[in-house]
Chain A
Amino acid sequence: AQSVAQPEDQVNVAEGNPLTVKCTYSVSGNPYLFWYVQYPNRGLQFLLKYITGDNLVKGSYGFEAEFNKSQTSFHLKKPSALVSDSALYFCAVRDSGNEKLTFGTGTRLTIIP
């Protein structure tokens, strides 16, 4: 079985400050990890993924995430938040032998001007 936990329903960050959105996972095999962003009444936009290789993954819009195998975490980060980063963020995982993605419950990120 595979699962994802996003422990924070809501994260508020002042514009210009660094932001972190947390994600932990559980899989039986090797994890494939993803971050997506969703704006109101829209589908999901891909931000970044970890499949293998360097633990620090860089993605779209200045976002990055660090894969930590020992802590089974894949936290999303950005050095300097923009108001336009305000949205709903989903972490997702699948293991290497499963084509289905399992999503976390989502974290609403609000950047305060």
Chain B
Amino acid sequence: GAVVSQHPSWVICKSGTSVKIECRSLDFQATTMFWYRQFPKQSLMLMATSNEGSKATYEQGVEKDKFLINHASLTLSTLTVTSAHPEDSSFYICSAREYSSYEQYFGPGTRLTVT
């Protein structure tokens, strides 16, 4: 089956620093990748959609200068949280979709804690 990995699985950083999270499709080419944020005991909120080779499309209310998304290849997308603050602490989940596929395949998530 289609496998999506995320790295790191958890990260602790100090306020003001930047953190990069990687999302990789391991056995398929992902033309589209999605980044979600999940607060404790809440649902997934879509942050942005990225297509390989083009700029990401951000959802309303998501700061694109704070959450930088790069989809540089068909198997890798990165989310960089810049100048992180404690309120950015959350569980970040990516998903990937093959061209013309109905399904999104989800990564295992990254727990970010900003101190």
Interface residues of A (CB under 8 A from B): 32, 34, 36, 41-46, 49, 51, 90, 99-101, 103-106
Contact of B43 among A45, A49, A99, A104 (CB under 8 A): A104
Question: Do residues B103 and A100 form an inter-chain contact, with CB atoms below 8 A?
Answer: no
Residues 3-46 of chain B, each 1 if its beta carbon lies under 8 Å from chain A, else 0: 01010000000000000000000000000101000000011101
Chain B residues with CB under 8 A of A51: 102
Query: Which A residues are CB-close (under 8 A) to B105?
Result: 46
When distances are taken between beta carbons in the complex, the residues of chain A under 8 Å from B46 are 100-101
List, in ascending order, chain B residues with CB within 8 A of A103's CB: 43-44
Chain B interface SS verdict (over half): strand
Query: Number of B interface residues, CB 8 Å?
Result: 22
Cβ-defined partner of A43 (8 Å) among B34, B43, B93, B97:
B93
Q: Report A66 CB to chain B, min CB distance, Å.
A: 19
> Do residues B102 and A105 form an inter-chain contact, with CB atoms below 8 A?
no
From B42, B95, B108, contact of A105 by CB (8 A): B42
Confirm or deny: B104 has a beta carbon within 8 angstroms of a beta carbon on chain A: yes
- Smallest CB-CB A-B distances: 8 pairs: A44-B106, A43-B108, A43-B106, A43-B109, A103-B43, A105-B43, A103-B44, A43-B107
Given the known inter-chain contacts A101-B46, A103-B43, A105-B42, please indicate yes or no for A43 contacting B6, CB distance below 8 A: yes
Of all chain B residues, the one with the shortest Cβ separation from A51 is: B102
Residues of chain A lying within 8 A (CB to CB) of residue B111: 41
Among B34, B43, B105, B106, max chain A CB count under 10 A is at B43
Complex formed: what's the CA distance from A24 to B12 in Å? 38
